A = this chain, B = another copy of it.
């Protein structure tokens, strides 16, 4: 932990001390959350939900304290006198924005949201296991009620959904998302229709012991920048990544017994999130700037490592001999080009997290639409599974056999994370913008990748994006990294070039 710079400003020191304390309690909150999903015995759920609700309420209570507002008022002129880019100016600026937003939410509501999320996630896991949407429905209704209460805490906007979106993508409007998604849909629907109907690769169904998959995942992740000194790697039901500081990053994945792709790409995806958090400047440690900038920017990095790197031919020229050597029977006769194609098949499928680069967007557009309809009341939770199934078949052309593979597949709604889904697809869009800027500055990276060397890319991303943490808004951050706003065209061009002909270019 870097020592706090001497500010010569007692109010700033006091603000820092208060925010550090809140951050410390937040560390406990994140650990309680990670442990709940990765390590906790199932019967611990009820006590855990109470503990998380209390801890989250403490964070909220301490943050919305009047005294923090007084300190921020007192620091306003000082903050403006500092260079915009300085850590201190950024801390004052972002704390002000967060504080004003958090003040809108009564502590009782924040605590209840936390408690219901915790218990709801548990109910969801059981419902999913038993394909029992009915047992989950009351939790979803409760979450929707809470979302309405939450939205009512804020000034009226053009679209109530803006309030929820702002929690994940500060400053982003629903109308902007809709515009990007309209453009994507225009191109994705014909792309999906034109995609070759790839057969399942021959290796699917053959045994892939998960210990071997785990070792391979670790090897790829380590080449990308994973280090056991500062990170963990565990299996869980629904892969995710969290962190308790830049040097305590928790990457999780899951492995499929008869297909190595699921685990490998989930690992590369989650370590992308981890590398982002690990790369935040240590000068921001224990502050509210010490995390990724927004959900979409975060997702841009998981997608960049998973897709732009992890599904590239140059990556597989390096990595495939290792994978083939680890599974000689399952992959014996397969060439690197065949394998590269097998990890880039375009094929409508049921599960979002297993979807390919082309069809993925339609999974998100479906969820973006449904959650807006649930919130507006145009769709009831009773009708949700049927609506899901009908629209899924319309967008992706395949029927949904059960709710486990349909509406129950994702944890997000059980945790109250409405407004989160669209950021995944915005992340895909931004990933290509960031990638193209990196290539423009570094030149082609294929030779590096073919040697298993990802350091030039990793370092460029660290310096230009990761180190910034949350100092700037998502819009400011994107402007700094790629020189402009969000733009779907590079992403569409990438998809067309790679998948447009129906074969992998």
Which A residues form the contact surface with B (CB < 8 A)? Answer: 1, 20-21, 24-25, 27-29, 31-32, 35, 39-44, 46-48, 50-51, 53-55, 58, 228-232, 244-245, 247-249, 285-286
List 19 additional A-B contacts (Cβ < 8 Å) besides A41-B248, A58-B58. Answer: A1-B46, A1-B47, A1-B50, A21-B54, A25-B51, A25-B58, A27-B48, A28-B29, A31-B31, A40-B232, A41-B232, A41-B247, A43-B247, A43-B248, A44-B245, A46-B247, A47-B248, A47-B286, A51-B244
Given contacts A44-B230, A232-B41, A286-B47, contact A55 B35 (CB under 8 A): no
Tell me the complex Cα distance, A248–B48, Å: 9
- Which residues of B have CB within 8 Å of A46? 1, 245, 247
CB distance from A279 to the nearest CB of B (A): 14
Choose among A28, A46, A58, A286 the residue with the greatest number of B CB atoms under 10 Å from its CB.
A28
The 5 A-B pairs at the shortest CB distance, nearest first, are namely A44-B248, A47-B245, A24-B54, A43-B247, A27-B51
Shortest CB-to-CB span from A10 to chain B, Å, is 18
**When A27-B51, A48-B244, A286-B50 are in contact, do A41 and B1 touch as well, CB less than 8 Å?**
no
CB-based contact B28/A50 at 8 Å:
no
B contact residues around A40 at 8 Å (CB): 232, 244, 248
Cα distance A232–B44 in the bound complex, in angstroms: 11
- Inside 8 A of A42's CB, which chain B residues have their CB? 229-230
Residue of B24, B39, B244 touching A55 (CB-CB under 8 A): B24
Q: Would you give the shortest CB distance from A117 to chain B, in whole angstroms?
A: 16
Determine the residue in chain B with the shortest Cβ distance to A234. B39
The docked-state distance in angstroms from the alpha carbon of A39 to that of B285 is 21
Q: In the complex, which residues of chain B have a beta carbon less than 8 angstroms from the beta carbon of A51?
A: 24-25, 27-28, 244
Q: Which residues of B contact A31 (CB under 8 A)?
A: 28, 31-32, 35
Residues in B neighbouring A44, C-beta threshold 8 A:
230, 244-245, 247-248
CB distance from A449 to the nearest CB of B (A): 27
Query: Of residues A20, A48, A249, which shows the largest number of chain B Cβ atoms within 10 Å of its Cβ?
Result: A48
Return 21 A-B CB contacts under 8 Å, by A number.
A1-B46, A1-B47, A21-B54, A24-B50, A25-B54, A28-B29, A28-B31, A28-B55, A31-B31, A31-B35, A39-B39, A40-B244, A41-B228, A41-B230, A42-B229, A44-B230, A44-B248, A47-B245, A47-B286, A51-B244, A58-B58
A286: chain B residues at CB < 8 Å are: 47, 50
A54 contacts across to B, CB distance below 8 A: 20-21, 24-25
Contact across chains for A47 and B285 when beta carbons are under 8 A apart: yes
Q: What is the chain B residue whose CB lies nearest that of A53?
A: B24
Q: Please tell me if the beta carbons of A229 and B58 are within 8 angstroms of each other in the complex.
A: no
Q: Taking each of A1, A40, A231, A247, which has the highest tally of chain B beta carbons within 10 Å of its own beta carbon?
A: A247
List residues of chain B with CB within 8 A of the CB of A43. Answer: 229-230, 247-248
A42, B35: Cα distance in complex, Å: 17
Chain B neighbourhood of A53, CB < 8 A:
24
Least CB separation from A247: chain B residue: B43
Q: List residues of chain B with CB within 8 A of the CB of A29.
A: 28
Shortest distance from the beta carbon of A410 to any chain B beta carbon, whole Å: 26
Q: When chains A and B are docked, how far (Å) is the Cα of A1 from the Cα of B54?
A: 15
**A31–B44 Cα gap in the complex (Å)?**
12
